[in-house]
């Protein structure tokens, strides 16, 4: 494992000084840092507005070191000003999911004890539904609106600001988990964490430079999107292309063709949606696409490569680790795998007794690295369960082949025991999605009439494919020809879409409930 010292990060360190101020000193002030629609923001303008925001937070709102500032913002330049401005004065910005509901925002604002909420105009009603009496520590709400409230706030701050004398292992920002399996958990990330991820993944694997143009469909409030669009470009003085709207394939293609990114980031479901959209689109500017959030099936990689001539580099990261820790590399792509362990991280695949499993056998994935969060805020019990002696229990099950590539086998509670044998739903899904009629699918366990668990497949068909009852049988036989008989789905149900979290991860618990309802109705 590489430490902050190994990466040359000094003891006295402020992330904003590194990601923003440094570019002025190094002569990149005129370079474009952000493109958002017709708006262009240079590094010089970014630095000035970050300073104004930091000063205004401190001098107008009275924000002090360690105070929490919740950012409920759509992607746009204001996100950068607030995020880096808060860090520069030693405060703690907390970007949160713009797709959540009022009860989620109530929980985060209360749990974090936020002093300030900065919110996009269209999102303010969701926050206004929380009685202010329930949020005694929240003193200020600032809206980014068409009336220019945020811009007027910036004007109240000085354009000159010295970075707070923070240490590299001081808290810098928090990210809350999606809460798909319970209430959200606040991951406390440190000043050096973004540098670690930029160095060990973006620079080492993607070979980024100031000539690159980054377009991340996943938004800035995601750990994945925050890296792709929020600090990877700023690590080298490159350009971040922001799209605040919905991630429909039509919008994605339009942004790519207009802004010409060199690096393009999406999730497997998104790549599937793009492939399902007919038409001729120009992706010639993209040197690599990157996928994360869930496992990328080999068939999707192959179809995308054949259609656009672009490699998708699949990888795995987490909110707790901030970004990637296992990834495919341009020179080492193994379609269907999550790739190789990044230099600078440690990994272990363990059985239920915490013993390392042999090559080729399924084990629980543990990761250790300098970017792993310090703790879950205010949840010592969950912290102790998940982060032990620096090792992060990811909750994912993996195998590792003889060449060192990691292969996703599902979440811990997703694995199926069929006839006494373990079945990875990911393996069955990969077989199904390679069929020409299938756009995406999900496999869960469901009990048969004898109470025995068998695979149950939910399938979304490609556009123009009819839901012929005979097709379900054809898909079962298709899998049988590729995999062992016991892995064959006993039931196939067609759906228009599959339930997912805001980050694009499959909500299998909903599908398990749906499978039970389907079985009981027959």
- The answer, yes or no, to whether residue 64 has pLDDT greater than 50, is yes
- The answer, yes or no, to whether residue 102 has pLDDT greater than 70, is yes
**486: alpha, beta or left, given left = phi > 0 and alpha = psi -120 to 50?**
alpha
> What six digits make up the tokens of 11?
């003891």
> What six digits make up the tokens of 134?
């329930």
Q: What whole-number distance in Å separates Cα of residue 82 and Cα of residue 76? A: 11
Mean per-residue pLDDT of the chain: 94
Domains 15-290 and 421-520 share a fold: no
Q: What whole-number distance in Å separates Cα of residue 297 and Cα of residue 440? A: 9
Q: From 3.30.300.30, 3.40.50.1110, 3.40.309.10, 3.50.50.60, which CATH number describes the 421-520 domain?
A: 3.30.300.30
Count CA atoms within 13 Å of residue 507 on its CB side. 15
Task: Supply the pLDDT for residue 180.
Answer: 43
- Taking only the tens place, the pLDDT of each residue in 6-56 is 999 999 999 999 999 999 999 999 999 999 999 999 999 999 999 999 999
Q: What is the CA radius of gyration of the chain?
A: 23
Q: What whole-number distance in Å separates Cα of residue 450 and Cα of residue 459? A: 25
At the top level of CATH, which class does the domain 15-290 belong to?
alpha beta
Domain ranges of the chain: 15-290, 421-520
Alpha carbon separation from 174 to 4, 66, 222, 331 (Å, rounded):
19, 11, 11, 34
> Token pair 């474009």 is at which residue?
32
What 3-state class would DSSP assign to 82?
helix
Q: Summarize the confidence of residues 92-110 as an average pLDDT.
A: 92
- The answer, yes or no, to whether residue 200 has pLDDT greater than 70, is yes
Instruction: Answer for the pair 291, 267: CB distance below 8 angstroms, yes or no.
Output: yes
> Token pair 């020409």 is at which residue?
436
> What six digits make up the tokens of 250?
């039509």
pLDDT confidence bin for 484, thresholds 50/70/90: confident
Task: Supply the pLDDT for residue 182.
Answer: 59
pLDDT confidence bin for 420, thresholds 50/70/90: low
Q: What whole-number percentage of the chain has pLDDT above 70?
A: 98
What 3-state class would DSSP assign to 387?
strand
- The answer, yes or no, to whether residue 147 has pLDDT greater than 80, is yes
pLDDT confidence bin for 181, thresholds 50/70/90: very low
Instruction: Answer for the pair 176, 185: CB distance below 8 angstroms, yes or no.
Output: yes
What is the reported pTM? 0.87
Q: Summarize the confidence of residues 286-292 as an average pLDDT.
A: 97
Nearest to 511 by CA among 495, 489, 488, 487: 495
């Amino acid at each position: 494992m590489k430490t902050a010292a190994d990466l040359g990060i000094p003891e006295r360190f402020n992330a904003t000084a590194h990601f923003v101020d440094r570019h002025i000193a190094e002569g990149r002030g005129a370079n474009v840092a952000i493109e958002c629609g017709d708006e262009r923001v240079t590094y010089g303008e970014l630095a000035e507005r970050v300073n104004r925001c930091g000063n205004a937070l401190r001098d107008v709102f009275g924000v002090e070191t360690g105070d929490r500032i919740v950012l409920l913002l759509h992607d746009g330049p204001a996100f950068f000003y607030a995020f880096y401005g808060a860090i520069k004065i030693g405060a703690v910005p907390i970007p949160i999911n713009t797709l959540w509901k009022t009860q989620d925002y109530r929980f985060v604002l209360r749990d974090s004890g936020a002093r300030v909420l900065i919110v996009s105009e269209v999102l303010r009603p969701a926050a206004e539904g929380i009685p202010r009496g329930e949020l005694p520590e929240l003193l200020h709400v600032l809206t980014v609106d068409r009336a220019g409230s945020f811009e007027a706030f910036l004007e109240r701050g000085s354009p000159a600001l010295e970075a707070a004398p923070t240490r590299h292992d001081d808290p810098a920002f928090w990210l809350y988990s999606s809460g798909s399996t319970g209430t959200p958990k606040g991951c406390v990330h440190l000043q050096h964490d973004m540098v670690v991820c930029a160095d060990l993944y973006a620079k080492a694997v993607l070979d980024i430079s100031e000539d690159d143009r980054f377009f991340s469909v996943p938004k800035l409030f995601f750990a994945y999107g925050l890296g792709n669009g929020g600090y990877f470009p700023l690590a080298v003085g490159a350009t971040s292309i922001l799209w605040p709207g919905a991630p429909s394939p039509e919008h994605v293609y339009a942004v790519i063709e207009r802004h010409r990114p060199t690096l393009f980031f999406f999730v497997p479901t998104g790549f599937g949606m793009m492939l399902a959209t007919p038409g001729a689109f120009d992706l010639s500017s993209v040197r690599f696409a990157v996928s994360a959030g869930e496992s990328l099936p080999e068939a999707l990689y192959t179809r995308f490569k054949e259609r656009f001539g672009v490699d998708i580099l699949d990888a795995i990261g987490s909110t707790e680790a901030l970004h990637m820790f296992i990834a495919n590399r341009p020179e080492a792509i193994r379609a269907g795998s999550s790739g190789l362990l990044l230099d600078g991280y440690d990994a272990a695949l363990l059985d239920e007794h915490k013993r390392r499993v042999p090559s080729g056998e399924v084990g629980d994935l543990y990761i250790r690295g300098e970017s792993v969060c310090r703790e879950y805020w205010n949840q010592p019990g969950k912290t102790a369960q998940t982060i032990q002696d620096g090792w992060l229990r990811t909750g994912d099950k993996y195998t590792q082949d003889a060449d060192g590539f990691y292969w996703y086998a599902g979440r811990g509670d997703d694995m199926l025991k069929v006839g006494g044998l373990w079945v990875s739903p990911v393996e069955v899904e990969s077989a199904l999605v390679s069929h020409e009629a299938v756009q995406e699918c999900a496999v869960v366990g469901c009990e048969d009439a004898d109470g025995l668990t068998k695979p149950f497949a939910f399938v979304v068909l490609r556009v123009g494919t009819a839901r012929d009852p005979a097709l379900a049988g054809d898909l079962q036989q298709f899998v049988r020809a590729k995999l062992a008989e016991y892995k064959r789905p006993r039931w196939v149900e067609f759906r228009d879409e599959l339930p997912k979290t805001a980050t694009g991860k499959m909500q299998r618990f909903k599908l398990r409930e749906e499978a039970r309802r389907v079985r009981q109705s027959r």
